[in-house]
Structure 1
Amino acid sequence: MLRFVRAPKFTRGFCGLGQFERLRVADEAPAVVVSEANQIHFNLALESYLMDVVKPKVPVFFWWRNDKNVVIGRNQNPWKECNTGRMEEDGIDLARRFSGGGAVYQDLGNSCFSFLVPESKFKKSLNNDIMLKVLREHFGLIGEASGRNDLMIEGKKLQAKGLSSVVSRVVNLSDLNNSITHESLTAPLIAEFYKQYNDSNAALRDPEIVTKSSEFTSDPKFQKLLAQLKDWDWRFGKTPQFTHLLEKRFDWGTIEVNLDVHDGMIHDAKIFTDCLIPDLIPLWESSLRGHPYSVDGVSESLQSIPIDPENLHICDEFCNWVTHEMKS
């Protein structure tokens, strides 16, 4: 099913000097960049590289999509927005944008686009019109622009499925017209982009096709962006402070665990229980403090405690429970 995802920087005009370093795009005419690297961290890095390193002086249309992932905004909590444990099991990438916005699930059924336009040429309605005109003239779908960034068809947004923060009413384009695919949209969108920006020589140029082996990817500036987006500290460690409260009744007692998490690390752990083996509690608390708030981090910290064999089953139950709750 095809869904649109408007890239967060869609609404930003851009002003800057410079040339496309190691990208075959002229400075004097509108340009199209199509990514065939269906990987979320790569494409987010490319978008930032285009905006902040290349700094185009011409309008650029960036057309891309990603294999299965969840992408969150700069200030969102991944443990609240998605089931990180299940994502890991299912091979779903987690990415955090440099910009804001909500959490969405993406896969190859999502088509993502960015307009990178110099401030002197930027007109939001023009960029909206490109998408709406293609949908109307090529696929018979009547839509409208709504709010700050939304394109609407039948009162529903053209967007990927929102996750826990705000669940939006969305529509799949292929449910409205089954001839719509990422491939069938590509040519008319590129043609309309060139038309709207008055490029009479567009037919003489091919889009710049980008892959993971494209020459510019060896640029240290691109590699730095890619490394940051993939880094655990950026994806998880930049999470705002939050508290995770866990409660459960075991055969050996009722237990309440309070985890205070800063920047993806367990800053403090407080455990309250009526367990009849009180010496276990300070061991658990001290072992959790200072470890990453992750299944591996918590499991490693709890399993490293020297435990009396008589209490090993209690510790195993406790560890399995905490890590299971973190995956939920």
Structure 2
Amino acid sequence: MKLSIYYSESTDPSFNQAIEESLLKHADDNHIIAFLWQNQRSVNIGKDQNPWRVCKPKQLKQDNINIVRRHTIGGAVYQDLTHTNIALIGSNNYLTKDIIQKILLGTFDPLNIEVAISDKLECLIDNKKVSNTALSENNHYLFFHSTIRVNTSLTDISQYMNSRYSILNHKDLERAYTSINQHTRPLEHNELCRYISDSIQEALELDAENTIILNNQHPDWVEFSANFYRLKSWDWNYGQSPSFIESLQTAFSWGNVDLRLNIDAGVINNVYYDAPTAYHNMMNDFSQTAIGYPFNAKSMISIVCGLLLKHSEHYDELMEVSEWLQQEIA
């Protein structure tokens, strides 16, 4: 049995997720793979999740924080450089839940922190989660991913994740989540990686072959570039969302406007509106023109520009609609 541990120097979440996905292709019955990394500020969402529902795309865009859709199901997780990520990949004949639990417990031994491991393989300190996990099995292989909070600001989590569709608020987070540094001396990413690596080797009783992946230097793997550019794309991160309805309302000097947009696979497929009678022709053309456009701020510019000549008498009103929608939609 061979054990390989990869360490990424990159903090680009799309780059690191492309590494993780590529490593899944490298697993075989005689090879256990571990991958350790951290991401710059980002929101990682599950394969089947809707970013407009689980986080705040508009706020994230304003703060230059990317949304990255994972290849696995699971919840949305805010990450920054106060988190450490670990992935384990291998045959489930050798890499078992019991082994993973042993690895997680061993990681915390040098810190003298009493940690419990939940049935979902989440790390708990004083019954508060210090990690979020994902676990899947496919073709006799086990894939485990954990994001460990080292010194995370719960304010940042609530700022970007506590949308109007979420029950989370800051007090809920304080009751549910904690970070390692709240229970021990200050801990850095590289030190935690060393503890994880040592625990992996001890639990598996194997010596590791270590590989450092340089900052944004693309590995020479056939599937890596395709994974990386897909993970950077709007079509993957937003366009893979399930169907939903977005309702928007505002009050202009010329009247109130209500919009209800049906979104399917990230694309507008129907628009219902309520607006002052004098603007029905303008809004009717808007609702028809919008069909087929991606649901993003850039599309709103294109839609309105296409209406300016036909409805030149409402130039100011159309520009107000455009500015409003660009502010509302990521």
Q: TM-score range by the shorter chain?
A: 0.7 to 0.9
Q: Does the 8 Å contact 1:58/1:117 carry over to 2?
A: yes
Instruction: For 1:182 and 1:145, locate their aligned partners in 2 and report how far apart those are by CA, in whole Å.
Output: 21
Of 304, 313, 316, the match for 2:316: 313
Deviations 1:49-101 (A, max 9, x none): 11124546222221111111111001111112222233223221110001111
Stretches of structure 1 lacking an aligned partner (at least 5 in a row): 1-27
Instruction: For 1:188 and 1:240, locate their aligned partners in 2 and report how far apart those are by CA, in whole Å.
Output: 39
Q: Does the 8 Å contact 1:139/1:180 carry over to 2?
A: no
> Does residue 151 of structure 2 align to residue 179 of structure 1?
no
- Give the TM-score, by structure 1 length: 0.83
Instruction: For 1:88 and 1:189, locate their aligned partners in 2 and report how far apart those are by CA, in whole Å.
Output: 33
Correspondence for 2:21: 48
Higher strand proportion: 2
Correspondence for 2:106: 133
| % identical aligned pairs | 21
Deviations 1:199-255 (A, max 9, x none): 2xx3xx66211125657x233311111122122111111110001111223232222
**CA-CA distance at 1:312 after TM superposition:** 1.5
> Does residue 192 of structure 2 align to residue 197 of structure 1?
no
Q: Does the 8 Å contact 2:27/2:90 carry over to 1?
A: no
How many residues align structurally? Answer: 294
Correspondence for 2:5: 32
Instruction: For 1:213 and 1:239, locate their aligned partners in 2 and report how far apart those are by CA, in whole Å.
Output: 28
**1:166–1:218: structure 2 CA closer, same or farther, 3 Å change rule?**
farther
Correspondence for 2:138: none
Structure 1 runs of 4+ with >3 Å offset: 53-56, 164-168, 212-215, 307-310
Instruction: For 2:214 and 2:277, locate their aligned partners in 1 and report how far apart those are by CA, in whole Å.
Output: 57
Stretches of structure 2 lacking an aligned partner (at least 5 in a row): 132-148, 150-156
SS for the counterpart of 1:276 is helix
Correspondence for 1:207: 210
Correspondence for 1:107: 80
SS for the counterpart of 2:238 is helix
Structure 1, 166-175 or 262-271: larger mean CA deviation: 166-175
Instruction: For 1:110 and 1:321, locate their aligned partners in 2 and report how far apart those are by CA, in whole Å.
Output: 35
Q: Does the 8 Å contact 2:4/2:209 carry over to 1?
A: no
CA RMSD for the aligned pairs?
2.1
SS for the counterpart of 1:256 is strand
SS for the counterpart of 2:100 is helix
User: Which aligned pairs between 1:75-94 and structure 2 lie closer than 5 A?
Assistant: 75-94=48-67
User: Which aligned pairs between 1:242-321 and structure 2 lie closer than 5 A?
Assistant: 242-305=244-307, 306-321=309-324
